[in-house]
Structure 1
Amino acid sequence: MKLNTHEKNASGNSAMPQRAVGDVFDFIVCGAGSSGSVVAARLAEDGNASVLLLEAGGDDAAETVTNPAQWPLNLGSSRDWGFVGQPAPGLNGRRLPLSMGKGLGGGSSINVMVWARGHKGDWDHFAAEAGDDAWGYQSILGYYRRIEDWRGAPDPVRRGVGGPAYVAQPQSPQPVAEALLSAASAIGIPVYDTPNGDMMESPGGASIAELRIRDGKRESVFGSYVRPLLSRPNLTVLTEAMVTRLIFEGKRVIGVEVRADGHRRQFTARCETVLSLGAINTPKVLMQSGIGPEEELQSHGIPVVQHLPGVGRNHQDHLAFGCTWAYRKPEGVGGGGCEAKLYWKSASHLAQPDILQCQLEFAVPSPIETGLETPEHGWTMFTGLAQPKSRGRLRLSGPNPEDPLLIEPNSLSEPEDMAAALAAVELCRELGNSDAFTPLVTGEAAPGARDKSGMIDFIRRSAVTYWHQSCTAKMGRDSMSVVDNELKVYGIDGLRIADSSIIPRITTGNTMAPCVVIGERAADLIRTKHGLTDMSGGIARSI
């Protein structure tokens, strides 16, 4: 368990104040990622509330975090949980690497920095599942106006200015990004000024991406929300402190047990505990604490506190297939390498886009199983499934914190997903082989022309993920739901979940921005419950 000092670290980030840490707080937030950082910061804004933010990983001082171009170097490092899926029949038995951020900022410290807000249809679906219009698109627009410091054209209905999250488009996108927009327009796909305005209310389109990069440096959610508050005496941040289980009085959570420096320590929450550990570790802690499918818990000798069969079920992720072209000559790479995005529909009858394309301005090697060579210089379109129908699950391998979770992604198990994948790859090839790219590329390196059987084989062998794992402790009102509309765990007091595990289905696009919304919504609910100061500066009651 580490406490940093006031000194500036190598990245220029102001670190945590060094002081003795007590055992009792008003609120405990577990996980300093894209949701947990928001919850902790918003609760700590009220000086009457003592807040403990726990993070299993380390600090965010590395150059690989702050330098947008170096994000791939974090994959497989100590900043990555390094999860690996179980063999998937739909992928010819392959095991998918499932990276997830570990450290201050969580995924927002190692991702591609794309800001994608989710489609209107996503949020309206969440509201219907939760039975609460506060999760609907019109309400969520209000959250985004609060969150954003948008540096583009004014849009007072959809965009915010002056919020904690700096969001901007690259000032001079690379030629390959502009070529994608030209190619899309040529085949009838609308081109928008931004991907997060009315494009996210439409059947789809193409646009220059919005990124969390300021003055050439990454801005993590932790950096935007928590770092400005680190000098406050009511906020404590502990790194390298892994939450291993919840502590109960009856069916009320009163705190957590943490493993740090080879020792166990317990912390008590007077008011509430919030799990923001992500779609893998949140259900793991729930199950190993006795909350989950009764039969599975009993099979590992874990006493059942609350039978919730949906814990660990409904696992979803964005699956992608790398289509690559060779450059005529080396081209530049802007920002984190992703400056253009496209969303489109695989079939005209669909209500919203189900194809997600993220253009990378460098050639990404195909999985070895494809047998394809990667050009020395080129670009790759990660074209994939924005709304997959396949559902996976998580299973315990044992009752102890060190026992790994078994992740079964179940990728491409539903025929609708293969149909959408075929459409996505063909759309990508149509774009990449169009006249717009002719000045830049010599030809297609992957997948190349194939018959339908050959293309299915390529899809099964080449599939990777966007690392957007979600939905494993979903919000809703059916028997498989884990949290209600206020993010309270069913049957348990004093516990909420705020991370990507609570969404009923994965959002259209990258998941960082929706996770920030989830954090804001959770903080609002908690503040209201406990009478804390709200965003308008209202008077707080003493806790």
Structure 2
Amino acid sequence: MTRTVQASYDIVICGGGAAGCVIAGRLASLGDVSVLLLEAGGPGDVAEVTDPKIWMRNIGSERDWRFASEPCAGLNGRRAPLPMGRVLGGGSSVNGLVWARGHKADFDLWEAETGDAGWGFDAAVALYRRIEAWDGPPSAMRGTSGPMPITLPKDPAPVVGGLLDALPGFGVPRVEDHNAEAMAGDGCCAVANVNVAPDGTRVSTARAYLAPRRGEPSLTVLTGATVRRVRIEGGRATGVEYEADGEIRMVEARRQVVLSLGGVHTPKALMLSGVGDESELKRHGISVAQHLPGVGRNFQDHILVGGCVFEYRTPEPPRNNSAEFTFFCKSDASLPSPDLQPMLEETAFGSEVTGPAYGLPVDPSLAFTLAPGLIRPKSRGRVSLTGPRPEDPVRIDANFLSEEADVTALRIALELCREIGHSDALRPFVARELMPGPLAGAAQLDFLRNAAGTYFHQSCTAKMGRDPMAVVDGGLRVYGVENLRIADASVMPAIAGGNTLAPCVLIGERAADLIAADLGLPAPWSAA
């Protein structure tokens, strides 16, 4: 799909990740619009991308930006690894393949923040219906003819059945599909939806949205192209500076520039382009194009704890995506929506501190983990520049577990996961608990701070809304800069209540609708 890059295009999309591929594929289908998609990583035609069973090999590879936070006091001074996809398809090509739409409360918030019903729950369900090719239990909320195949893992590990039997005893109902009516409920447990084709291979957004456009003259995809900054002239985005093959180049955008670089690189590109907090930009000698103090602020990520580990009675190798079960529940019954999402990890899963300390087995068939997860964190961080050059690394002050409410919720989740592991329904599978064992008080808190990491869902650093810290409006337009949009996880006002791939695809779909409307062209996909 890569061809000679022209001097100008109607639309230049920066970042071929989960949302960027959606936008490029949809707009290219219009035919009358020329689209350039710039992606820093490679095409992703390797087994680690296509085979769901070995997705974790992408972490730390050349397909990972390998970000890390600054030392976090809430993590006992540890730096949290923050993997992010550096490959065509972005996170959809390297993640654990769990497709979670988010909760009704998420979309209620997005609508309230923007004043735009197009981000509300009913609109979200309609968007998901046209995205999905769901082959599971029928529901009026699911789509069956969209570009993204979504399914249930075939023949999941036996322990999954034990977990499904156990959770109702803890007040968490079992459902056949966590992305249907449960989206508006108080919690549920289920076999996890995954974006896998009938032949058992991963379906990234690159495969779902770009591959059908292969060979069409309206679309140019350039991999190995790192976006440096947006050219802004007279308050208008006019082009993009990028590096490819060791050469710095410029391409003109006749109609729009779309930033889809993710929760870390999108704010970086904005700031290098002169869009951000005026005082910070001037400190680095960057000319100010637009003062927007919210750029890089409001950083959020889901917290995943590694974890409550149990030795199998009978060894059981991981199956499918090695994470076939999840559940959603509340740490406090008075909360309006679930704030916890533990995951099954079909191996012994610990942090760089707790794994060695407990001597966890390396053989993945010997143990499984119930990993406590926090999906509505109160802690907020920040992404900032360390210098004025694109080569200068960003600084990520994640501030994980800096809010006591997050610590309290995760301590509850930790004990809940331990109790589930010791329940009667799990007795046929569990020989003994390997980590952490019974802990209380300071010892439990110390374990939690040493064990906590993230879901790799960096978000919210260029949020949409109408308050002074908002960066884009409900139409995803950057305030004060014409012809510049953002469409990725950074626009979430608050991180979605579940794995973020599906909401990012939704953001990409909505962005394609909005851009097509700006161009005055009908969007044939919107009738799907």
Q: How far apart, in 1, do the equivalents of 2:525 and 2:232 lie?
A: 35
Structure 1 residue 180, shift from structure 2 partner? 1.1
Q: How far apart, in 2, do the equivalents of 1:529 and 1:69 lie?
A: 42
Alignment of 1:451 onto 2:444: no
User: What TM-score results when the alignment is normalised by the length of structure 1?
Assistant: 0.94
Deviations 1:71-103 (A, max 9, x none): 111111100000010000111110001000001
SS of the residue 1:213 aligns to? coil
Aligned residue-pair number: 521
Same amino acid, percent of matched pairs: 49
Structure 1 residue 345, shift from structure 2 partner? 0.0
Q: How far apart, in 1, do the equivalents of 2:33 and 2:445 lie?
A: 55
Q: How far apart, in 1, do the equivalents of 2:350 and 2:379 lie?
A: 25
Match of 2:359 in 1: 373
Counterpart residue identity of residue 33, structure 2:
A
Aligned residue among 509, 512, 522 for 1:520: 509
Match of 2:331 in 1: 346
Q: How far apart, in 1, do the equivalents of 2:242 and 2:127 lie?
A: 32
Question: For residues 250 and 118 of structure 1, do their structure 2 counterparts lie closer, same or farther at Cα, with a shift above 3 Å needed?
Answer: same
Q: How far apart, in 2, do the equivalents of 1:502 and 1:537 lie?
A: 22
SS of the residue 1:218 aligns to? coil
Alignment of 1:166 onto 2:141: no
SS of the residue 1:314 aligns to? coil
Question: For residues 537 and 200 of structure 1, do their structure 2 counterparts lie closer, same or farther at Cα, with a shift above 3 Å needed?
Answer: closer
Aligned residue among 284, 295, 300 for 2:268: 284
Counterpart residue identity of residue 463, structure 2:
K
Question: For residues 74 and 129 of structure 1, do their structure 2 counterparts lie closer, same or farther at Cα, with a shift above 3 Å needed?
Answer: same
Q: Structure 1 stretch 305-314 or stretch 369-378: which is displaced more?
A: 369-378
Match of 1:238 in 2: 222
Structure 1 residue 369, shift from structure 2 partner? 5.2
Structure 1 residue 536, shift from structure 2 partner? 5.7
SS of the residue 1:483 aligns to? coil
Match of 1:13 in 2: none
Superposed, 1:350-499 pairs within 5 Å as: 350-368=335-353, 371-375=357-361, 376=363, 377-499=366-488
Deviations 1:303-336 (A, max 9, x none): 1110100000000000111111111221132211
Q: How far apart, in 2, do the equivalents of 1:349 and 1:80 lie?
A: 39
Deviations 1:259-301 (A, max 9, x none): 1111111011110000000000000000011000111111110
SS of the residue 2:293 aligns to? coil
How big is the alpha-carbon RMSD for the aligned residues of Structure 1 and Structure 2? 1.2
Aligned residue among 162, 182, 186 for 1:199: 182
Match of 1:273 in 2: 257
Deviations 1:325-373 (A, max 9, x none): 1112211322110111100000010000000111111112332256222
SS of the residue 1:54 aligns to? strand
Superposed, 1:498-509 pairs within 5 Å as: 498-509=487-498
Match of 2:195 in 1: 212
Match of 1:10 in 2: none
Counterpart residue identity of residue 313, structure 1:
R
Match of 1:251 in 2: 235
Deviations 1:238-278 (A, max 9, x none): 00000101112211001100111111110111100000000
Unaligned runs of 5+ in 2: none
User: What TM-score results when the alignment is normalised by the length of structure 2?
Assistant: 0.97
Q: How far apart, in 1, do the equivalents of 2:49 and 2:322 lie?
A: 15
Structure 1 residue ranges, 4+ long, deviating more than 4 angstroms after superposition: none
Residues 366 and 372, structure 1, Cα contact 8 Å, conserved in 2: no
Question: For residues 305 and 537 of structure 1, do their structure 2 counterparts lie closer, same or farther at Cα, with a shift above 3 Å needed?
Answer: closer
Unaligned runs of 5+ in 1: 1-15, 539-543
Structure 1 residue 454, shift from structure 2 partner? 1.2
Alignment of 1:50 onto 2:34: yes
Question: For residues 175 and 272 of structure 1, do their structure 2 counterparts lie closer, same or farther at Cα, with a shift above 3 Å needed?
Answer: same
Residues 366 and 374, structure 1, Cα contact 8 Å, conserved in 2: no
Match of 1:7 in 2: none
Counterpart residue identity of residue 194, structure 1:
D
